Amino acid sequence: MAHAKQVPVGIIGAGRIGRVHAEHLAFRIPQARLVAIADVSRDAAQACATANQVDAVYQDYHAILADDAVVAVVICSSTQSHAAIIAEAAAAGKHIFCEKPIDIDLASVDEALAAVRTAGVKLQVGFNRRFDPNFSRIHEAVSCGEIGEPHLLHIISRDPAPPPMNYLRDSGGLFLDMTIHDFDMARYLIGSEVKSVFAVGAVRIDPRIARAGDVDTAVITLEFDSGVLGTIENSRQAVYGYDQRVEVFGSKGMIHSENMTSQRTILSNGKGVHSASALNFFVARYAESYLAEMRAFLACIQEDTDPPVGVTGRPRRRSRPRV
Amino acid sequence: MAHAKQVPVGIIGAGRIGRVHAEHLAFRIPQARLVAIADVSRDAAQACATANQVDAVYQDYHAILADDAVVAVVICSSTQSHAAIIAEAAAAGKHIFCEKPIDIDLASVDEALAAVRTAGVKLQVGFNRRFDPNFSRIHEAVSCGEIGEPHLLHIISRDPAPPPMNYLRDSGGLFLDMTIHDFDMARYLIGSEVKSVFAVGAVRIDPRIARAGDVDTAVITLEFDSGVLGTIENSRQAVYGYDQRVEVFGSKGMIHSENMTSQRTILSNGKGVHSASALNFFVARYAESYLAEMRAFLACIQEDTDPPVGVTGRPRRRSRPRV
Amino acid sequence: MAHAKQVPVGIIGAGRIGRVHAEHLAFRIPQARLVAIADVSRDAAQACATANQVDAVYQDYHAILADDAVVAVVICSSTQSHAAIIAEAAAAGKHIFCEKPIDIDLASVDEALAAVRTAGVKLQVGFNRRFDPNFSRIHEAVSCGEIGEPHLLHIISRDPAPPPMNYLRDSGGLFLDMTIHDFDMARYLIGSEVKSVFAVGAVRIDPRIARAGDVDTAVITLEFDSGVLGTIENSRQAVYGYDQRVEVFGSKGMIHSENMTSQRTILSNGKGVHSASALNFFVARYAESYLAEMRAFLACIQEDTDPPVGVTGRPRRRSRPRV
Amino acid sequence: MAHAKQVPVGIIGAGRIGRVHAEHLAFRIPQARLVAIADVSRDAAQACATANQVDAVYQDYHAILADDAVVAVVICSSTQSHAAIIAEAAAAGKHIFCEKPIDIDLASVDEALAAVRTAGVKLQVGFNRRFDPNFSRIHEAVSCGEIGEPHLLHIISRDPAPPPMNYLRDSGGLFLDMTIHDFDMARYLIGSEVKSVFAVGAVRIDPRIARAGDVDTAVITLEFDSGVLGTIENSRQAVYGYDQRVEVFGSKGMIHSENMTSQRTILSNGKGVHSASALNFFVARYAESYLAEMRAFLACIQEDTDPPVGVTGRPRRRSRPRV
């Protein structure tokens, strides 16, 4: 029994993040109805469909684009396919949620955006961390002037462990693979574009990463148009867990976030005072943000507003300025 | 499209807590299938059914008990109906999850339990707080000996605001309505029965509560069989939010919990250092525990083990000693 | 080379707490000049005098009382001598700082106070914890109405380890020896007298304590005249250190204190998140309060105001109401 | 009455930091005896001498150097006089404690060090922050391998308010005046020399600072010989107080420090959860470190060991490797 106003959605790509979105669309977001799943692996598509009580299962995503009943698609396929699928989906008149990045080639991104604009559909990009309750609270404090004019930004973004070497070799490198989220966060929190970047990297964790031509540890300095100075710290391996913190310092105060934990007990014994490690890894740490970004995407379809991070083909009314 | 092994469940009572369980059974617990909803208010039943995509809607719960396809029922009706419905459901061969308390009359509780034992079904009582990640971590620390022999227990349990006077007049009083959870928590954490209770109460918040013959503020001292001493603090109104903390002190250490918050940002400004208020109210604070207790109920049906808090008619094998 | 207005002070009793006061009077409080030390042990007196550059050393404290140059005495002798020395010192016209308690016999206390009133001198009692920055901040919050009307008080007071059995046998028992500070703290923070006391005790730490007729673990419930309900938790042995915390809950909020530490580093590793233990023991934990109480005593002499905790023979002007 | 082994010390310069050292030497460090004070302002010298019960007061510090009874001098005069006085004091055979920096001209520093080496005296430089309990704990964790190999360092060093413009104009600029402590801290904590420095600065607080040719906000990136990457954040104005934090991240964990406060109460009310601001300013925040560095200086004289930060003319035995 379906809701009158539910938006029929298809998912393209049933890998790890695709399955997260599938469960949310199937069970957690009443405004959506998950109606179709496609994956180049028929088995992956079927497993995801079974788990989420979806009947339409395809190997070729074009079947989803061809289905007039589908109003929106969620693109979770491999990065190099994003731009092309966006263009096709836009041409088919579907609203689009696409995992980041759209592409690593700017021209391809521009083509995809042009297709979206021409088609007059909505495109939201999966920068989910903007929807984390910590970072959206910091964004609010900065944009409402609670800390005055921002002066300094510091982002700590450390993964618990390096990915497998074969993933890492195709990842595009630490700056594209990890820092991309932090670059987006920096722009989101400060509300200004970056005018200069200085980066130093090192291999501190695994010499194979050096042999792959990458670094595993990095510090990036940003200068923003607005005059704010920022730093980002990345590491591929924080043995104590997934370390995701942000601090913004301004003329009237400072706001920073601590890591989230599954519980807040504190054990005191003869060796000291002990509390819980950070949530580990992103599926747990950013669970709420994945749900919130998808809710926001559905809301912008139903209310015909702009996606909070992305573009709209023919914007009619805006809920708020895009960041 | 259903899972092969899903347990068909009916809900009796579609009030606030019934709706929480309904959503969990419908969307969050793959092992369950919510198939029927009954409420003395037809509208309440229908609304809950619509929201959770359930077809079978009844005013009279007997229709659920009569449905052979229903394997388990979740009783969320008013307290005074619990014991009778348990007996009927047991007689109908249904496994039972029942909100606390079973009854305020011990003889009625004993009759209900007898019916459960005779029927050989499982009964789990809704002491959800045992499933909160904080308190279950404290339970683990105590039962594993991490803090040695327990000596002292302190429970702080303060509601954000008093309930409406008409609720309060029928609530059975603060000790039955609020402290019941804390009494259960005390037994759960210490693993010993209470041999003496001393309580003082006061009206500090609203004189109408005094006129209703109740108190709004209380301190209870417990002596356990094992020699542990404990205190419980209750208030009907913590203006800063829902305050739910526990501390257990023992021969090798101490463990306590802090309140949970939706985010962990810290704002520093000229007036001091500021962080977020506690989650408010129980639907948010104990969201995870409601889900976890229902998962545990489903698991004990599927694996034929004892409910973690409750009884089994004819126990066959035990996952762990009942507390 | 001395300050013009320094108050010459003699110390009676050069035990542990006497040596703390001696160092403060000699080196940390410019308004005072430590001029004489007496102890029944000549060696103890001499060692304390040498360490603090004091020339006048006596076995018999009467020599200090007979010295017209001495304006104030600090009584740190054994408890049973307090009342008598107070009376003698008052008769000799000395202002008096006396360690707690004045006596365990009320009649003796009354006699000592009568002597003080007759002589027109000042008497301050060594309830140093009132001067701890945490507890004085809580006192301020309560008395200024920051938390509205107080409803509930909770005091945690746990020593790191039991004293030697021979000390313990003469200590007067846990309630007199340990809880005395907490009883004073309760009255100080709530600003109301206690109308009923209910206490339970247990022996959880050392059976020899039971054989000595004492308890090592206790919970005390207090009802105040003002309607506030309070609890005190005591233990002789917190293996994780000296645990000294207070919480006051009221109609407009709640204030509580955490333990003080020597530093605030936090270590995160594969086992969790670890921070420093509480300051251990009272000489470190309450260092600031010992200094502050003595400064307050000197100030009330120099400015002829009432001692913040104690009595004045002939009060002329009051800095603030005595608590 | 003096201790047999007390070291007679003279102070050169009775400004703010000179008075801090004077009080410590006079009253807090039994191994020292403060015997003489010199300041170009006779009044300043006299006031400091009076407060600390010192008889010998001079305008010309040469009188202290000429006094054979003086074993050690503490140089707190203006920066440009440091190197010359060090050379003179060394020639006079005095052990030397000198406030940082020795000089801003490397050749002058080298000459001063040469004089110290020739004379065979000890020279300790006033990098007091190394003696802060937080930073020395972090140093210990790093040097003992508790966090494994260090990878990343982050130092936050923000003053509560800019100094007066006339001070600022002669300060040598933010990097020399403020960051000098952080550069020392970076080397101290990582135990490796810096091989590259990248800095960006901005004027965010006061345009007069720009007109003086300085910046008030800065971010510095450091690459160490050992491969560690580090950042330092400076601001002249943190409106919430003196912000002094450090974080070191390594292969086995991470350690960071929070700001120190005078008390640890937490107020919860309808607006959130509030705690105390950081200690403000350096005299309070680093009180313990000033005392500890001077104790260390006295200890290295009495035990003939190397100063923990500085040089010894003719080292005989070493307590530990110099950092």
CB contact under 8 A, A269 and B252: yes
Choose among A30, A257, A269: nearest Cβ to B265.
Answer: A257
Interchain pair A272, C274: CB under 8 A: yes
Predicted local distance difference test score (pLDDT) of residue A313:
83
User: Would the CB atoms of A264 and B260 count as touching at under 8 Å?
Assistant: yes
Residue A188 CA: distances (Å) to CA of A138, A150, A242, A295: 10, 13, 21, 19
**Closest CA–CA distance from residue D131 to any residue of chain C (Å):** 12
Instruction: Say yes or no to pLDDT of D314 above 90.
Output: no
Among B140, B263, B286, the strongest candidate for a mutation testing the A interface, having the largest count of A CBs within 10 A, is B263
CA A320 to chain centre: 20
The identity of residue D48, as a single letter, is: C
Name the interface residues of D facing C (CB cutoff 8 Å): 1-2, 26-28, 30, 50-51, 53-55, 132-134, 137-138, 141, 146-147, 252-260, 262-270, 276
How confident is residue B2, by pLDDT bands cut at 50, 70 and 90?
very low
pLDDT in tens, D149-200: 999 999 999 999 999 999 998 888 999 999 999 999 999 999 999 999 999 9
Burial of C15 (0-12, 13-18, 19+ CB in 10 A): middle
pLDDT at D3: 45
* Segments of chain C with pLDDT less than 70: 1-4, 314-323
| Closest listed residue to residue D154, CA positions, set B202, A266, B176, A219 | A219
This model of the complex carries an ipTM of 0.93
Contact A277 C275 (CB under 8 A): no
Beta strand A7-12 pairing with A72-75 = parallel
pLDDT value at position D271? 97
| Predicted confidence (pLDDT) at residue A317 exceeds the cutoff of 80 | no
pLDDT given for residue D2 in this prediction: 42
CA distance B297 to chain C (A): 31
Q: What is the CA B316 to chain-centroid distance, rounded?
A: 26
**Three-state SS across chain B?**
CCCCCCEEEEEECCCHHHHHHHHHHHHHCCCEEEEEEECCCHHHHHHHHHHCCCCEEECCCHHHHCCCCCCEEEECCCHHHHHHHHHHHHHCCCEEEECCCCCCCHHHHHHHHHHHHHHCCEEEECCHHHHCHHHHHHHHHHHCCCCCCEEEEEEEEECCCCCCHHHHHCCCCHHHHCHHHHHHHHHHHHCCCEEEEEEEEECCCCHHHHHCCCCCEEEEEEEECCCCEEEEEEECCCCCCCEEEEEEEECCEEEEECCCCCCCEEEEECCEEEECCCCCCHHHHCHHHHHHHHHHHHHHHHCCCCCCCEEECCCCCCCCCCC
Q: Which residues of C touch A240 (CB under 8 A)?
A: 268-270, 272-273
The D-side interface with B (CB below 8 A) comprises: 239-241, 243, 268-278
Contact between B274 and D276 using a beta-carbon 8 Å cutoff: no
Distance from CA of B112 to the nearest CA of A (A): 35
Cα A274 to Cα A291: distance, rounded to the nearest angstrom? 31
CA distance A49 to chain D (A): 41
Would the CB atoms of D272 and B275 count as touching at under 8 Å? Answer: yes
Judging contacts by C-beta atoms under 8 Å, the chain A residues touching residue D194 are: none
Chains contacting C (3 or more CB pairs within 8 Å)? A, B, D
Give the global pTM.
0.95
Of A252, A264, A268, the CB nearest to B269: A252
Taking the CA of residue C121 and the nearest CA in chain B, the distance in Å comes to: 42
Chain B positions contacting chain D at CB under 8 Å are 239-241, 243, 268-278
> Residue range B277-290: average pLDDT?
95
CA distance A59 to A37: 8
**Which has the minimum average pLDDT: B1-15, B57-71, B239-253, C244-258?**
B1-15
Query: From C226, which residue of chain B is nearest by alpha-carbon distance?
Result: B204
Distance CA C134, CA C146 (A): 15
| Structure confidence at residue A3 as a pLDDT band (50, 70, 90) | very low
- Identify the residue among C235, C240, C242, C258 best suited for mutation to test binding to A, counting A beta carbons within 10 A and taking the highest: C240
Residue D238 to residue A227, Cβ atoms within 8 A:
no
In this prediction, residue A297 carries a pLDDT of 98
| Neighbouring chains to B with at least 3 Cβ pairs closer than 8 Å | A, C, D
CB contact under 8 A, B152 and C219: yes
On chain A, the residues whose CB falls within 8 A of the CB of B53 are 1-2
Residues of C in contact with B151 (CB under 8 A): 202, 204-205, 217, 235
Instruction: Inform me whether the pLDDT recorded for A68 exceeds 50.
Output: yes
Percentage of residues in chain D having pLDDT higher than 70: 96
Percentage of chain B exceeding pLDDT 90: 92
Number of Cα atoms under 13 Å in the Cβ half of residue A128 = 20
Q: CB D251 to CB A237 under 8 A?
A: yes
Do the beta carbons of residue C90 and residue C122 sit within 8 Å?
Answer: no
pLDDT category at A28 given cuts 50, 70, 90 is: very high
Cα nearest neighbour of A244 on chain B: B264
Q: What is the pLDDT of residue C5?
A: 80
CA B163 to chain D, closest CA, distance in angstroms equals: 18
Among B95, B175, C32, A196, CA closest to D201: A196
Task: Show the tokens assigned to D262.
Answer: 């005078």
Evaluate if residue B323 carries a pLDDT over 60: no
Given the structure tokens 């969320």, which residue do they identify? B76
Per residue in A153-200, pLDDT (tens digit) is: 999 999 999 999 999 988 889 999 999 999 999 999 999 999 999 999
Can you tell me the mean pLDDT for D258-272?
97
Q: Is A194 helix (H, G, I), strand (E, B) or coil?
A: strand
Query: In this structure, what are the phi and psi dihedrals at residue A9, rounded to the nearest 5 degrees?
Result: -125, 140
A154 interaction partners in chain D (CB closer than 8 Å): 154, 156, 231, 233
Q: Which of A268, A161, A235 is nearest to D248 (CA)?
A: A235
Contact residues of C toward B, CB < 8 A? 148-149, 151-152, 154, 156, 158, 196, 198, 200-202, 204-205, 217-219, 221, 223, 227, 229-231, 233, 235, 237-240, 243, 249, 251-254
Q: What is the pLDDT of residue B146?
A: 98
- A-interface mutation test, from D198, D200, D237, D266, most A Cβ less than 10 A away: D200
Q: Which residues are bridge partners to A233 per DSSP?
A: A156, A219
Residues of chain D contacting residue A249, judged by C-beta atoms under 8 Å apart: 158, 233, 235, 238
pLDDT in tens, D10-46: 999 999 999 999 999 999 999 999 999 999 999 999 9
Model confidence band, residue A314 (pLDDT cutoffs 50, 70, 90)? low
Concatenated DSSP letters for A49-74? HHHTT--EEESSTHHHHH-TT--EEE
Q: Which chains touch A (3 or more CB pairs under 8 A)?
A: B, C, D
Residue D320 predicted with pLDDT over 80? no
What is the pLDDT at residue D317?
Answer: 45
Measured between CA atoms, the residue of chain A closest to residue B148 is: A269
Beta bridge partners of D198: D221
Cis peptide before C101 (omega within 30 of 0): yes
Q: Which pLDDT value is given to residue C314?
A: 66
Q: Would you state the pLDDT for residue D170?
A: 85
Neighbours of C106 (CB within 10 A): 9
Dihedral sign, Cα of residue D141, residue D144, residue D149, residue D153: positive
Closest chain C CA to residue A272: C277
Partner-chain residue, chosen from D148, D238, D249, that has the shortest CB–CB distance to A235: D249
| Closest chain A CA to residue D198 | A198
Cα dihedral across residues B169, B172, B175, B178: positive or negative: negative
Nearest CA in chain C to D250: C269
Mean pLDDT (chain B, rounded) = 94
Q: Please answer yes or no on whether A1 and B50 come within 8 Å at the CB atom.
A: yes
